[in-house]
A and B are shown apart, each in its own frame.
Chain A
Amino acid sequence: MTAQADDELWSAIGDPSRRRVLDLVVSNGEVSASWLAGRVPFSRQAVSKHLVVLEQARLVSRRKQGREVLYRVEADRLDQATRAMAELAAQWDRRLGVIKRLAEAAHAENKKGNRRDA
């Protein structure tokens, strides 16, 4: 139920282009918007928009260095997202595991019943 509370975070990582931007920030430490724009197949303006969304979701932060603005990943926030995601996936795996157990038990029971009827 925690997933919904973090909508901003999920929609921030949900967009493929934005994931690409985040990927580059994570792999390269501190980078500027124009550096990023040289490495993606979309415009400098699009990069800036993606950075705003990532910043709002607190996945990246920025600081000024001289005339440049540098972006870097917020490791704690990324870690939080990873753990929340893994927990939701694990929750469904547990549910699917119970469904498997119930269905297989019911199937075994049906087969026994059929043998008795025969």
Chain B
Amino acid sequence: MPGLVIDREILIEAPVEVVWRTITEPDQMSQWFATRVDLVVEPAAHGYMQFGDQGGPVVVEVVDPPARFSFRWNHPRGEEPVAGNSMLVEFTLTPEGDERTRLRVVESGHELCAWPDAEKQRYADEHREGWAEYLDRLAGVLAER
């Protein structure tokens, strides 16, 4: 049974290597993500992110420069973040010409992460509408009734 899925993307006027550094270097991450980032970007590396007066551990999953970077976070304190107790954040970088990059981020709730890729793809195909759009549409129907 799948959990939460958020899927967003943006087009950036910069080469893929520059975008890669922006999302993976801790001093850059501390500007767009957390207020303080202690992290070595290597597969299976454990790190810590501080958000204001809150914070929590993160565990790196995939590091495939300059195309894919993913990490797990939001797992219960004292537990190892694995599929089943955490949120997975996956960045995909796709070059569009020499000086432009499409950056996609998918944050998924736990059950989905443990699925085989073919299952994930089937699920994604069935959810073209997107969660936000689905909920918006339901709310719209409700308002009109």
Contacts and interface: CB of A to CB of B under 8 A. Distances in A.
Nearest to A111: B99
Contacts of B15: 107
A29 B3 contact: no
B13 A104 contact: yes
Given A23-B138, A82-B135, A99-B19, A14 B5 contact: yes
B21 interface: yes
Nearest to A92: B8
Given A103-B12, A107-B99, A10 B4 contact: yes
A92 B23 contact: no
B139 to A, nearest CB: 5
16 contacts: A7-B109, A10-B3, A11-B2, A14-B111, A15-B1, A26-B138, A26-B142, A27-B141, A86-B136, A95-B32, A98-B31, A99-B10, A99-B12, A99-B23, A102-B31, A102-B32
Interface of A: 1, 3-4, 7, 10-11, 13-16, 19, 22-23, 26-27, 29, 73, 75, 78-79, 81-82, 85-86, 88-89, 92-93, 95-100, 102-104, 106-107, 110
